[in-house]
Structure 1
Amino acid sequence: MRSLAFDVLNHVRIADLIDIGIVSVLLYLTFVWLRDRASRSLGIVAVAMGVIFLLARWLDLYLTTMAFQYGSIGILIAMVVVFQNDIRHGFERLATSRWFRHSSAGQPGNRIVDTITFAVAEMSEQRIGALFVFPGREPLDRHLRGGVEVDGRISEQLILSIFHPKSPGHDGAVLIHHDRIVQLGLHLPLTTQVSKVHDGGTRHAAALGLAECCDAMALVVSEERGTITLARDGNLTEIEPTEVAEELRRYFADQTSTGQRKLKSRWIGWTTKVAAVAAAVTLWFLFAYNTDTIQRTFVVPIEYRNLPSHLEIEDPKPTYAEVTLSGTSPTFALLKPAELAVSLNVKDVGGRRVLSWKTEPNIANVPKDLRVQKTVPDTVFVTLRENANQ
């Protein structure tokens, strides 16, 4: 075991550590994204495809491996088309994560919370239907339709007048941001999971639909039963009127907390980071770590640069060279054989008519971790003569 560890350390380069670090960050961002409930189906499909590909490589399943190699672009396009909403949602969550937030805007104070709580309790008692939307960190614009700009100061009387059954905008949702009623009469996306709505109506379906699309919270007062329901994180939860203030304060605190994270959140964060690093190291061992040295021979074109216009190279002139390179298999993966060339500069000829160059120093575009073992010919000779067309 110790010898294996020393062997690994001897073959790990700084470039490999940077490689693992970059992949770890990308995997961490991917895991955070896939951890979101709305992208869970995409995560399951992505993991299943990865497992199938690794099994195909391990068991030498030729047809399956070929299908992945030649169909990877098609598979990627299909996943983007099928899961486009999940992908967009994931990028929105990433863009609004704490890494990209510079400051936390002020949230409603106790007076605003108490005002909303009293209004909700009053409407619950009188069975007046209502739907409130409290934005989270993700943008809401693409989920909202219609609506009337209000930008009014929150008051119990204003809320009750908006949701009065004879008010023109009572059927829509009200958007509350900070201490202002921003819009009223908004239409929200309806959920497709009707079973979760149970005895609720259109307001509950709209609240759940919004909670499935983003991190906003919706508060619903049922017109038929007078019940109060919270929609958050893709779930509906019925609460008592006495719990409204507590739920609002908890939600607003979650939006403003940047440095105070709960132990559970810290544990999940560190677990995700460790998993990302472990996955990156595993992938490096599977696909990059290889101590076996292999040799490959390539037929490389010889090019002559900066030949004076009054001179030409006599035929026959060497046009190709055989170059044998050695290195590990991952290093050869960085090589582009089509870009290999023996590049000879014929600019400074003086009065000479016979020129020679060592082949190895003039080979271009060889990755630094590959070594030139042999070249045929070892030296290139050419004879120059006056250009008859000049």
Structure 2
Amino acid sequence: MPTTNGHLLSGDLLDQVRVADLLDIGIVAVLLYVVLVWLRNRASRTLGLVSTGLVLLFLLARWLDLYLTTMFFHYGLVGIALAIVVVFQQDIRHGFERLASFRLFRQHSPNDSRRRLVETITEVADEMAQKRIGALIVFPGREPLDRHIHGGVSVDAKISLPLLLSIFHPKSPGHDGAVLIESDRIMTLGMHLPLTTQVERVHDCGTRHAAALGLAERCDALVVAVSEERGTITVAQDAEMTEVDPADLADHLRRYFDTQDGSFDAKGERRLSDWATGLAALSAATALWFAFAYHTDIVQRTFAVPIEFRNIPPDYEIAEPKPNFAEATLSGPEPTFAMLDPTRLAVSLEIREEQGKTIFRWFTADSLTNLPEDLRIESTVPAEIVVSLRPKLDESQ
């Protein structure tokens, strides 16, 4: 018996789910996926907590029928949105930059060139750490760097160990700045990076580490910092700093480059994470649909619908008394009524001129326009509309 009930329940559900409902769930799932990926990868923890808290509070208010709280969200939505934009403008701008920089078709860099680049950076970082030479090396991600970096000299030189050592030599004019490396070329040297706002995290480090973390907080770049005071190598990425040895640095660089060109997905980790996020977004969208859009109850509502007359001959008018409104009782699911704009409903009556005909009649239900497909007409008052035409009176007489 439970199996039969289960089949009946699933059958009823399938009968009530429309293609538009599936499209509705799909659109919301995609939007939730984009938001979740952004919150997971780039947004600050505070923004994530605030957004999650507001959503949970709204759902709780709807579930418990908290009238005042629901009205606050309903009428204060614009204010809440503006407040979030003002307070978290950096995070929001960061998220849009990440979406704008998304590449569907990614070009893979040659493996030999990438391997030589990793070996060169690892070797130069190790040598500078041993010699206590400070360095700051930036590897851009997909997001633009222009608004974060200042100054610098464009060089566009092929990367090499001697060149990097000479750039960061203590007596070199640009040794205090950062170097930007794209592909296997040094594009800019002597750049100034933004400092971190979380000073407590770099209180025992130098300015280079504050700059490395500052850039990693604002975009998806990877920054390698070598400390001249302690002789250590640090990697800053995704608003985090990690002290590494040369072998770990090579692993960080390989993983980072693989992530940028897409080959990291082939290893399964990023793909698994994206699938999990997508499943969570789809589950949340489905749950929201069941909570707010899916209703098995059929409700009835009555509306006062205006009556309009079309194609009245220019020399005639409707004789009084003429009806101006009709009452239409409709039935259907609650969500359809929520989407209904009653002002668009009308009883539209077209007068087809015939020789000698002055009395016209219509069935009201057949003349009701702009009615959603999911709503059914239960009754109309009046059920039939009858009017008569008369010649217009000459006002000059």
TM-score normalised over the length of structure 2: 0.90
Q: What residue in structure 2 maps to residue 103 of structure 1? A: 106
Deviates further, 357-366 or 339-348:
339-348
Residue 39 of structure 1 contacts residue 87 of structure 1 at CA under 8 Å; is this kept in 2?
no
Structure 1 residue 242 displacement after superposition: 5.0
Provide the rounded CA distance (Å) in 2 between the counterparts of 1:171 and 1:259.
Answer: 33
Name the CA shift for 1:102/1:267 in 2 (closer, same or farther; >3 Å). closer
Q: Which moved more, 1:62-71 or 1:153-162?
A: 153-162
> What pairs up with 1:362-377 in 2 under 5 angstroms?
362-377=367-382
Going from structure 1 to structure 2, the CA distance change for 1:351 and 1:152 (only over 3 Å counts) comes to: farther
In structure 2, what is the Cα distance between the partners aligned to 1:147 and 1:159?
A: 15
Q: CA deviation at 1:261?
A: 3.2
Structure 1 residues 145 and 389: alpha-carbon distance in aligned structure 2, compared to 1, 3 A threshold: farther
SS of residue matched to 1:109: helix
- Structure 1 partner of 2:189: 184
Q: Is the 8 A contact 2:108 2:262 kept in 1?
A: no
- Asked if 2 retains the 8 angstrom alpha-carbon contact of 1:36 and 1:90, the reply is no
Residue matched to 2:16: 11
Match of 2:335 in 1: 330
With over 3 angstroms needed to count, the CA separation of the structure-2 counterparts of 1:105 and 1:297, relative to structure 1, is same
SS at match of 2:196: coil
| C-alpha deviation, 1:347, in angstroms | 4.9
Shift of 1:197: 1.6
Displacement after TM superposition at 1:230 (Å): 0.9
Q: Read off the aligned partner of 2:255 and give its amino acid letter.
A: R
Distance 1:329 1:204, change over 3 A: same
Q: Deviations over 1:212-254 (max 9, x none)?
A: 1122100111122222211112111122245444432332223
Q: Which of 207, 210, 215 is the aligned partner of 1:205?
A: 210
TM alignment of 1:178-327, pairs within 5 A = 178-258=183-263, 260-327=265-332
Q: CA deviation at 1:206?
A: 0.8
Greater CA drift, 278-287 or 13-22: 13-22
Q: Which amino acid aligns with 1:291?
A: T
Counterpart of 1:163 (choices 161, 168, 177) is 168
- How many angstroms apart in 2 are the aligned matches of 1:230 and 1:142? 22
Amino acid at match of 1:75: I
Deviation at 1:89, TM superposition (A): 1.7
Judge conservation of contact 1:326–1:371 (CA < 8 Å) in 2.
yes
**Residues 51-130 of structure 1: pairs in structure 2 closer than 5 A:** 51-97=56-102, 100-106=103-109, 108-130=113-135
Instruction: Map Cα deviations across residues 35-94 of structure 1 (whole Å, 9 max, x no partner).
Output: 125333222112211221222222222211221111122112211221222122222333
Query: Using the alignment, how far apart are the partners of 1:13 and 1:122 within structure 2?
Result: 66
Matched with 1:31 is 36
Compared with structure 1, are the counterparts of its residues 278 and 243 closer, same or farther at alpha carbon in structure 2 (3 Å cutoff)? closer
The one-letter amino acid of 1:106's match is S
Preserved contact between residue 132 and residue 231 of structure 2 (Cα < 8 Å):
yes
Aligned length: 388
Structure 1 residue 259 displacement after superposition: 7.0
Shift of 1:349: 4.2
Q: Is the 1:334–1:367 contact (alpha carbons within 8 Å) kept by the matching residues of 2?
A: no
Superposed CA deviations along residues 124-168 of structure 1, whole A, max 9, x for unmatched, are 233222111001122222222222221122122322232233333
8 Å contact kept, 1:197–1:236: no
* Counterpart AA for 1:127: R
Question: CA 1:196–1:111 in structure 2 vs 1: closer, same or farther (change >3 Å)?
Answer: same
* 2:359 equivalent to 1:348: no
Instruction: State the AA in 1 paired with 2:106.
Output: S
Q: 1:262 and 1:77, CA in 2 relative to 1: closer, same or farther beyond 3 A?
A: same
Q: Offset of 1:260 from its aligned partner? A: 4.1
TM-score, normalising length: structure 1: 0.92
Q: Distance in 2 between matches of 1:389 and 1:42?
A: 72
Match for 1:311: what amino acid? Y
Please state whether the residue corresponding to 1:348 is helix, strand or coil. Answer: coil
Secondary structure of the 1:142 match is coil
State the secondary structure of the residue aligned to 1:143.
Answer: coil
Taking the aligned partners of 1:198 and 1:253, their CA distance within structure 2 comes to 32
CA contact (8 A) 1:308 1:347 kept: no
**Residue 33 of structure 1 contacts residue 39 of structure 1 at CA under 8 Å; is this kept in 2?**
no
Q: Secondary structure at the match of 1:22?
A: helix
CA distance in 2, matches of 1:346, 1:248: 78
Cα deviation for residue 4 of structure 1 reads: 3.2
Counterpart for residue 149 of structure 2: 144
Q: Quick one: distance in 1 between partners of 2:264 and 2:250?
A: 24
Q: Separation in 2 of the partners of 1:313 and 1:293? A: 38
CA deviation vs aligned residue, 1:246-283 (integer Å, no higher than 9, x gap): 43233222322347433443332222222222212211
**Residue 86 of structure 1 aligns to which amino acid in structure 2?**
D
How far is the alpha carbon of 1:301 from its aligned partner?
A: 0.8
C-alpha distance in structure 2 between counterparts of 1:74 and 1:49, whole Å = 13
